[in-house]
Amino acid sequence: MNLPAFVESPRTGKATDTLVDNAITGLKSKTPDGNAKKINLIEYDSQYCKNCLLGRDY
């Protein structure tokens, strides 16, 4: 089983980050063949939709 773990909190290493780490550890203890990857969204340059309609044909 593959599980992406998204963390949206800007405070790396704090409570939310620790909870996600513990959830990944729990997954690995219950499912030895489980694979989880933590993705910190704060590390990516994401922008919000401006309703420009450029992506409507994709």
For 26-54, what is each residue's pLDDT tens digit? 999 998 888 999 999 989 887 777 888 87
Q: What is the pLDDT of residue 1?
A: 80
What's the whole-number average pLDDT of the chain? 87
Map tokens 């998204």 to a residue: 6
Q: Tell me the H-state helices in 1-58.
A: 15-30
CA 17 to chain centre: 10
pLDDT tier for residue 58 given thresholds of 50, 70 and 90: low
More confident residue, 54 or 8: 8
CB count in 10 Å sphere of residue 8: 10
Which of 34, 6, 33 has the alpha carbon at shortest distance from 20? 6
Q: What is the pLDDT of residue 19?
A: 95
